[in-house]
Amino acid sequence: MDVNPQPLHSTVALRLHWREYLIEAWALGVFMISAGLFTTLFFWPGSPASTAIPNADLRRALVGIAMGLTAVALIYSPWGKLSGAHMNPAVTLTFWRLGKMSGWDAVFYIIAQFAGGVCGVWLTSYMLRDAFQAPPVSYVVTVPGAFGASGAFLAEFAISGFLMWVILRVSNTRRYARFTGLIAGLLVATYVAVEAPVSGMSMNPARTLASALPAGIWTDLWIYFTAPVLGMQVAGWTMTWRATPAPGCAKLLHSPEHRCIHCGHRPAGTGQRSSSFPERLQ
C-alpha cells in the first residue's frame, strides 16, 4: 500500500510543519556557507592553500570533495532526516509532481530554500568580505563556461536529471536506501570537479539566485531556473512509466526514528499514524 500526503490548508501546513521548513532553509544556508568558505580557501589569490596548490583542477577537485562531504553531513544529520534534505526547489518540485508532497508543503519548502540560500551567501560575504566578493570567487556565482549558454543548459539538464534519477532509484531500493546520501554526495563532488567549468555546477535555482542576488551577476540566469527543473522532472517521469514503481516517500533518507510529513510515518510510541513506506522498498 502506498501512502500519499493529505492536502492541507496553508495555515495548517505552516503550523504543523514549520520545523521542516526551517530545516530546509538551514540546510541550504549551511551548504552555501560551506561553498563560499572552501571556494575562497582554494581560489582566493591571498589564501595559503591557493598558493600552495597551483593546479586549478586539483583545487577544484578539493572543493568538490568538501562540498560532497557537506551534502552527506546534511542529509544524514538528524535535522536532514526530519525534512528529507531536499535543499533544492527542483528536487521538491519533482517529489510534488510525483504526488509525494502536498502543494503547500512544496511551496513552503521552496520559499525556505531560497531564503536560506540567500542568508548563507550574505553571511559568508559578511565574514570574508573582499576575499569572497571579488573575482575569482565572486560570491561563487554560477555562469556559463567555455561552451556558452547552450553548453551550460545541456550540462545542467544532464547532471540534474542523473542526480535525481539516482536518488529516486537508490532511495527506493531496500538494499541500498541507506547509501542515498553517500551516493548523492559522491555525485556532487564529481560534478564540481568535472562539470563546474561548463556551467558552474548549480543544479539548483535557489543556489544560483543566492549568489546572483548579492553579486548583481545575472548572466543567463534562465538556464539555472529551467534546466535543473526540466532534468529532474524527466528523471521523475521515468519512475512512472512501464512497470517501475513510483517513489514511496519524498525524503532522500527515510528514517524510522523521525516523523515524515510526506508519507505520514511517526516513530513508534507516538500513538500516531505510521506509513507503510518502509515496506514499499523494493
pLDDT digits (tens, 9 = 90+) for 45-91: 999 999 999 999 999 999 999 999 999 999 999 999 999 999 999 99
Q: Other CB atoms closer than 10 Å to residue 3's CB: what's the count?
A: 19
CA distances from 74 to 18, 77, 188 (A): 18, 5, 13
Q: Is the pTM of this model over 0.75?
A: yes
The alpha carbon torsion through 218, 129, 191, 282 (nearest 10 deg) reads -100
The alpha carbon torsion through 106, 234, 90, 142 (nearest 10 deg) reads -170
Q: Domain locations in the chain?
A: 10-256
User: Is the predicted pLDDT of residue 280 greater than 50, yes or no?
Assistant: no
With the C-alpha atoms ordered 245, 246, 249, 253, is the resulting torsion angle positive or negative? positive
Q: Other CB atoms closer than 10 Å to residue 169's CB: what's the count?
A: 18
The three cell numbers of residue 86 are 531536499
pLDDT tens digit string along 203-247?
A: 999 999 999 999 999 999 999 999 999 999 999 998 877 545 556
Q: Which of 103, 247, 263 is CA-nearest to residue 164?
A: 247
The three cell numbers of residue 123 are 553571511
Residue 274 is predicted with a pLDDT of 45
Residue range 10-256 in CATH 1.20.1080.10: yes
Query: pLDDT confidence of 174, banded at 50, 70, 90?
Result: confident
